[in-house]
Amino acid sequence: LCMADKFEMILSPEELRSKLPEWPYFIIDLQLWDKHTQKEKGKVCLQVNQSYGLLRDYFTGGELAVTWANEEFQEMFHGPLDRIIAYDGPTAEFLKEKEISEVVLLDPWADEVLSEKDFGVKAFVIGGIVDTGHDKKLTPKIGEELKNAGIRVRRRKIVLRGDVTGVPDRINRILGIILKMMVEGKPMDEAVYEFQ
């Protein structure tokens, strides 16, 4: 059993968090949930579960927050609901509760590339969207919603040799790339290669 496992048996994710160093929240924003087919919703759930697994490798998993987590998501999600934060409301509300006023939104449509300078934020937001290919411009909508609610949003993209083409766009892979860069200090290109 690792340290986190031992603590987990007696503490809730929130209690566990309060005892450990301040790690950022990794938020998967499900506001576009209803735009998905049932099959796609299943894929979103799977990718959320895989994201939890990844976070557990580095932190505790309790840093994972899923916002707009409605009843259907909670029913369809086969992962440990009690080990993540499933927040049935807007991302901005969750952030306000945590007194977080600025986030990094991972957005393939952003102008700026994610860098070390962004690693000090208290929350990263990834779109809970499943659609292969970069043709539909969906993530910026999440940014707009957050800005309208008064949150400062740094939109940042992940690129491979300067281009978003070739970057895997699965939610869990995007999270994995950030963790490799942030925790292991790997250059972006190398982190992307490892998740291809």
Decide if residue 179 touches ligand SAM (CB under 6 A).
Answer: no
- CA distances (Å), 174 to each of 6, 10, 105, 164, in order? 29, 31, 12, 12
Binding segment for ligand SAM (CB under 6 A), chosen from 5-13, 19-27, 90-98, 104-112, is: 104-112
Decide if residue 98 touches ligand SAM (CB under 6 A).
Answer: no
User: Which residues in 156-175 contact ligand SAM (CB under 6 A)?
Assistant: 157-158, 164, 167, 169, 171, 174
Decide if residue 181 touches ligand SAM (CB under 6 A).
Answer: no
* Count of CB atoms situated within 10 Å of the CB of 35: 13
Closest-CB residue for ligand SAM? 127
Decide if residue 104 touches ligand SAM (CB under 6 A).
Answer: no
Decide if residue 127 touches ligand SAM (CB under 6 A).
Answer: yes
Q: Among 46, 64, 126, 153, which residue sits at the site for ligand SAM (rule: CB under 6 A)? A: 126
Closest contact distance (angstroms) between CB of 163 and ligand SAM is 9
Decide if residue 35 touches ligand SAM (CB under 6 A).
Answer: no
Which tokens sit at 155?
């939109």
- CA distances (Å), 64 to each of 82, 111, 132, 160, 162, in order? 11, 26, 23, 26, 28
Number of residues near ligand SAM (by CB under 6 A): 20
Q: Among 61, 108, 143, 176, which residue sits at the site for ligand SAM (rule: CB under 6 A)? A: 108
The Cα 155–Cα 92 span in angstroms is: 15
Angle subtended at Cα 86 by Cα 185 and Cα 32, rounded to the nearest 5 degrees: 85
Decide if residue 131 touches ligand SAM (CB under 6 A).
Answer: yes
Decide if residue 118 touches ligand SAM (CB under 6 A).
Answer: no
- Residue 27 makes CB contacts below 8 A (sequence gap 6+) with 65, 66, 67, 91, 94, 103, 123, 124, 125, 126
- Residue 94 makes CB contacts below 8 A (sequence gap 6+) with 27, 65, 67, 85, 87
Residue entry with tokens 């991972």: 106
Residues contributing to the site for ligand SAM (CB under 6 A): 106-108, 126-127, 129-131, 134, 136-139, 157-158, 164, 167, 169, 171, 174
